[in-house]
Amino acid sequence: MLKRLTLLLTLQTLALFLFATGFFPQKTVIKGDSQFQINATLQSQTRPTFNKLVLIVIDALRSDFLFDSQKSHFHFVHSQLNKGTAWGFTAYSNPPTVTLPRLKGITTGSTPNFLDAILNVAEDDISSTLEDQDSLIKQFYMQGKNLKFFGDDTWLKLFPHHWFSEFEGTNSFFVSDFEIVDKNVTRHLPEQLAANDADVLILHYLGLDHIGHKDGASSKFMKHKHLEMDEIIKMIYESTQYSNEYDDNTLMVVMGDHGMNEVGNHGGSSAGETSAGMVFLSEKLAKYSTPQEQMNFEVPLLPNLNEEGQNNFQYLNSIQQVDLVPTLATLFGLPIPKNSVGVIIPEFLQMLDPQIISTKIKENYNQLLQLSKKSANEYEYNFDSDLDVNQEILQNEMKNIQNELTKTATNYNYNLLIIGYSILVISTLFTSLLIWKDYSKKNIFQLIPITVISIMLGVSTFSSSFVEEEHQIWWWITTGFITVSLVSTLTLQNGFSPLKTILYHLIIFGCARILRGWSNSGQKYIYDHVLSNVLKSHTNIQWYLNLLTILIIGFQKDSTSNFFKFTITFFLSVLCFIYKVNWAIVNNENVPDWFYASTYEACSILIGPTATTFQDSLIPMANLFLKAIVTTIIGRIIYSKIFIGKNNKDSLLIPDIVKYIKLLLIFETSSTKISQFLIFEIINHIWPKLLNLVKDTSDNDIANSIELSLIPLISLILQNFTFFQFGGTNSIATIDISNAYHGISENYNIYQVGLFMTISNFAPSIYWTIITWPTLYNSTSITNKNSKWIIFASNKLPILFFNCIVGCCLLASCYILRYHLFIWSVFSPKLCYFLGWNLFMNSIVGYIVEGLIVALA
């Protein structure tokens, strides 16, 4: 059975990958660079409105950070907006709202490809380069402009370095640092402003985004960051606009590449994430009439509330972020990049030479038409017959084309989709056959719960709400499962006290309820009083609970029996705890007062006196812990192989290894969530007791088969339930990267970071996988030599079955709903998460790691 199972798992993974490659293809782009098409000579001879550009991208600069009276501290920008020397807009940033796709949008004007969101994480990928694609930057470069760039090194991945006469990249992935990352950009400014030789100066600041990721949108660090950014804008403005030499030929653009949600994450399509701020600054703007919305109001503004009383983040005029591309191209006398779906912002048309305005609009219209591959006849308006174009009609027409273009951004590879799906269906059929055969030997009724759950989850993938709120489904299943378990154990009447049964179930129910109240998940309901927030504001309770959790996990009764083992566990637990405290201190979290001195002492003892600050000892401490834990696990395995030998079973090997992995999981968990493991431990203490009740009262074979069918089921439910209650969702926005950088210095290895990121996001699910090992593979359940592999296989089969059913439904829903409004924001992320679950949780943790452990045991 093991061989067949392996084959089926491989087939299933292959099917998913084929489907995904067909579903997330690279977008087809029009090659070549654009030229002026209409009145080319007139266009190239007309003097451009501006000839110097300073583009300041402030990562995650949401519209309210620029314009809101309560949130914004950009006082200089406000005063310029009120004077009319600055025009402000709310720019709609197309999801996925992460930096790499957004930068592509800002420079090429094209709509993003979903794959870019994933590549944003895998930064080493070279396929995302824009060297061959027509972009604003390329147009500037080909015009012989002098380009300089300082800031987020994503730009340097997108554009060849030789396009810039000077550049320096900063690393965007050190989320916990929000000072140095910006100082590294600002320090170039005095020199650059004095030299004043750059035609295009691009700055990309990351600090604000980092604050968001770390501490949320209303962090106490925000005000300071706003003031810092405002000061920089003021400095650049004064130096470029008031110097006599260049007068008013410099245009400054301050913009966010995307917004953020209240928690400070981004990637999805909520109003906060898609509403980025954008401000154009120049003395020249004051000579023209300011945009309609801005004329009537004094900035900063009050927020606009929607029907539910939430801020909709729409301030001043709303535009598409990609509109920046044709606008800048027009203002600087460049051809509009070929793949741009932008429409010139109408307010800027008045700044053009009057004789060229209609040409520019036609040019924009023509370019959009070519992109949409439709002839002008299909649209109502035909401009060739008309010399004086009706601006308004053409503008509307362009908006329509834009809408259509943004909707149909991708072409699917149907062959791959069909092949992938067929393989999956075949492997599902075989898996069902296998599980049917396996369970009909035992008791066919035990197949019911897993089938019901699989079908329920499968059906739910067709509804965007259920995908977004999947945590509700798992909570619903959990409550149902506990209740059914209570009722059925009570009615089975196997001669154990009903009081005890009720008590056990109540404890588990209570624990589950506490877990449910721990953090927010999903999009629909956000509660303020979740436990993680409560713990955050009650520092002492939080840290004593964390300490208790680590102690309880480290010192269960088997580890106190042997002095040598006790020392190792003690060392590991202390190391883990000190590191977490140290990390919290460095990240400005509160810890109980006396922790400061003792942590400092402990760090200097452990890693020597070279590290003088908490910051310095962070990386050595993490490395020490990681090395210690790896050495311990390897050492433990060698010890069991050499000293205990083959004749005596080392029954403690698996529990010990599980314990060390638990410590590693805690190491990869944020401080507000560590004490969840305490609740896990309580549940984990109780449910084997319930299982024992069943076991004691029926004969051995039945008990074994019940146990073998219940354990994977319980593990599956708890893996998913706790994954969502840990803060996970099916949206790219909640991938937590704050724990991915433990012990990783500046020259990081992408695979290591990726591994840590996955472990930290799947920590609770890993816990509920490994926790079954001691029960499954203990000496009493393994009877003869081959039996452990039979247990392994029968434990994996239901989970494979579940994944096959859900996979079939999910792929079908992705295919059927491929033109759905939410395909990129809801269904595609779900598909990615599903791939992640399959590859990491089932193949790597559940199959390879567990298989290794079983082989060794």
Contact range with other proteins by CB under 8 A, out of 40-48, 180-188, 509-517, 747-755: 509-517
The nearest distance, CB 792 to other proteins, in angstroms, is: 25
Positive/negative CA dihedral, 69, 75, 77, 79: positive
Segment near other proteins (CB under 8 A); pick from 296-304, 521-529, 753-761, 784-792: 521-529
Nearer to other proteins, 6 or 465 (CB): 465
Which range touches other proteins (CB under 8 A), out of 134-142, 483-491, 583-591, 759-767? 483-491
| 479 interacts with other proteins by CB under 8 A | yes
Residue 165: its H or E element: strand 164-170
Closest CA to 854 of 781, 746, 798, 805: 781
Bridge-based pairing of strands 275-281 and 250-255 is antiparallel
Report in angstroms how near the CB of residue 310 gets to other proteins at its nearest: 13
Least Å distance between CB 496 and other proteins? 6
Percent of the chain as helix, strand, coil, to the nearest 5: 60, 5, 30
Overall size of the chain counted in residues: 857
Closest CA to 324 of 150, 95, 41, 102: 102
Burial 502-519 (b: 16+ CB within 10 A, else e): eebbebbeebbebbbebb
Q: Considering beta carbons, is residue 124 or 308 the nearer one to other proteins?
A: 308
Does 407 bind other proteins (CB under 8 A)? Our answer is no
Instruction: Point out which span in 149-157, 473-481, 645-653, 717-725 binds other proteins (CB under 8 A).
Output: 473-481
696 binds other proteins (CB under 8 A): yes
The distance of closest approach from Cβ of residue 554 to other proteins in the complex, given in angstroms and rounded to an integer, is 24
What distance in Å separates the CA atoms of residue 243 and residue 247, rounded to the nearest whole number?
6
Per-residue x/- track, 525-554, other proteins (CB under 8 A):
--x-x-------------------------
Token pair in block for residue 805: 């059913």
| Chosen residue from 218, 355, 483, 560 binding other proteins by CB under 8 A | 483
Query: Per-residue DSSP letters for 52-69?
Result: EEEEEEETT-BHHHHHBT
Q: Which CB, 292 or 463, lies closer to other proteins?
A: 463
Piece of the chain touching other proteins by CB under 8 A; list 10-18, 457-465, 651-659, 809-817: 457-465
Which CA distances in Å does 207 have to 106, 174, 406, 628? 20, 10, 30, 34
Q: CB of 5 within 8 A of CB of 427? A: no
- At its nearest, how many Å lie between other proteins and the CB of residue 306? 11
Between vectors from CA 721 to CA 715 and to CA 724, what angle results, nearest 5°?
135
Q: Which residues, other chains included, contact 663 with Cβ-Cβ below 8 Å and sequence gap of 6+?
A: 550, 553, 554, 572, 573, 576, 629
Nearest distance from C-beta of residue 101 to other proteins, angstroms: 25
Residue pair 119/125 in contact (Cβ under 8 Å)? The answer is yes
Task: Establish if 96 lies at the interface with other proteins (CB under 8 A).
Answer: no
The closest alpha carbon to 471, from 533, 518, 534, 516, belongs to: 516
Distance CA 715, CA 693 (A): 18
User: Would you call the peptide bond into 300 cis, given omega within 30 degrees of 0 as the criterion?
Assistant: yes
Integer angstrom CA distances of residue 695 from 109, 700, 707: 65, 7, 8
The window from 81-89, 292-300, 692-700, 760-768 that contacts other proteins (CB under 8 A) reads: 692-700
774: left (phi over 0), alpha (psi -120 to 50) or beta: alpha
Q: Could you give the 3-state DSSP secondary structure of residue 280?
A: strand
User: Is residue 177 a contact residue for other proteins (CB under 8 A)?
Assistant: no
Our finding on whether 498 is near other proteins (CB under 8 A) is yes
Asked whether the beta carbons of 625 and 743 are under 8 A apart, the reply is: yes
* Residue 75 vs 695, nearer CB to other proteins: 695
- Region binding other proteins by CB under 8 A among candidate stretches 21-29, 52-60, 486-494, 655-663: 486-494
Nearer of residues 492 and 628 to other proteins, judged by Cβ: 492
- Helix ranges restricted to H, 698-786: 700-725, 750-761, 763-770, 772-776
Interface with other proteins, residue 774, by CB under 8 A:
no
User: Which part of the chain contacts other proteins (CB under 8 A), choosing from 27-35, 40-48, 223-231, 510-518?
Assistant: 510-518
Q: How far apart, in Å, are the Cα atoms of 108 and each of 162, 280, 851? A: 18, 19, 48
Which residue in 415, 689, 700, 855 binds other proteins (CB under 8 A)?
Answer: 689
Of 156-164, 386-394, 471-479, 789-797, the window that binds other proteins (rule: CB under 8 A) is 471-479
Choose, by CB under 8 A, the member of 493, 537, 561, 610 that binds other proteins: 493
Of 339, 472, 729, 794, which one interacts with other proteins (CB under 8 A)? 472
830 binds other proteins (CB under 8 A): no
265 SS3 class: coil
The stretch among 317-325, 469-477, 661-669, 674-682 that binds other proteins (CB under 8 A) is: 469-477
Indicate which single residue of 152, 228, 323, 468 sits in contact with other proteins (rule: CB under 8 A): 468
> Taking CB under 8 A as the rule, does residue 497 contact other proteins?
yes
Decide whether 390 or 697 has the Cβ nearer to other proteins: 697
Question: Counting contacts by CB under 8 A, is residue 475 touching other proteins?
Answer: yes
Cis previous bond, 96, omega within 30: yes
Work out which of 458, 522, 728, 774 binds other proteins, going by CB under 8 A.
522
Rounded CA-CA distance 183/170 in Å is 10
Contact positions with other proteins (CB under 8 A) in 805-824: none
Judged by CB under 8 A, which stretch of 214-222, 407-415, 507-515, 645-653 contacts other proteins?
507-515
Do 89 and 287 touch, CB atoms closer than 8 A?
no
The answer to whether 197 touches 40, Cβ cutoff 8 Å, is: no
* H and E: helices and strands count for the chain: 37, 8
**Residue 726 binds to other proteins (criterion: CB under 8 A):** no
- 321 Cβ contact list (under 8 Å, min separation 6): 91, 92, 93, 94, 102, 105, 106, 255, 276, 278
Beta bridge partners of 311: 305
Cross-strand pairs, 320: 92
Establish if 780 lies at the interface with other proteins (CB under 8 A).
no
Q: Point out which span in 99-107, 152-160, 376-384, 691-699 binds other proteins (CB under 8 A).
A: 691-699
Q: Which region, judged by CB under 8 A, interacts with other proteins, from 56-64, 363-371, 493-501, 639-647?
A: 493-501
487 binds other proteins (CB under 8 A): yes
Residue 6, φ and ψ in degrees, nearest 5: -60, -45
Q: Which is nearer to other proteins, 160 or 498 (CB)?
A: 498
Which letter does DSSP use for residue 204 in this model? E
695 binds other proteins (CB under 8 A): yes
Min dist. Cβ of residue 443 to other proteins (A): 22
- How many residues bind other proteins, per CB under 8 A? 36
Nearer to other proteins, 365 or 504 (CB): 504
How far is it, in rounded angstroms, from Cα 572 to Cα 15? Answer: 41
Residue closer to other proteins (CB basis): 473 or 581: 473
Q: How far apart are CA 6 and CA 16, in angstroms?
A: 15
- 800 and 5 Cβ atoms separated by less than 8 Å: yes
Name the residue nearer to other proteins (CB basis): 35 or 692.
692
Q: Out of 48, 216, 346, 517, which residue is the one contacting other proteins (CB under 8 A)?
A: 517
Q: Closest approach of Cβ 832 to other proteins, in Å?
A: 21
Of these, 47, 373, 524, 785, which contacts other proteins (CB under 8 A)?
524
Nearer to other proteins, 628 or 703 (CB): 703
Give residues in contact with other proteins (CB under 8 A).
463-466, 468-469, 472-473, 475-476, 479-480, 483, 487, 490-491, 493, 495-498, 509-510, 513, 516-517, 522, 524, 527, 529, 689, 692-693, 695-697
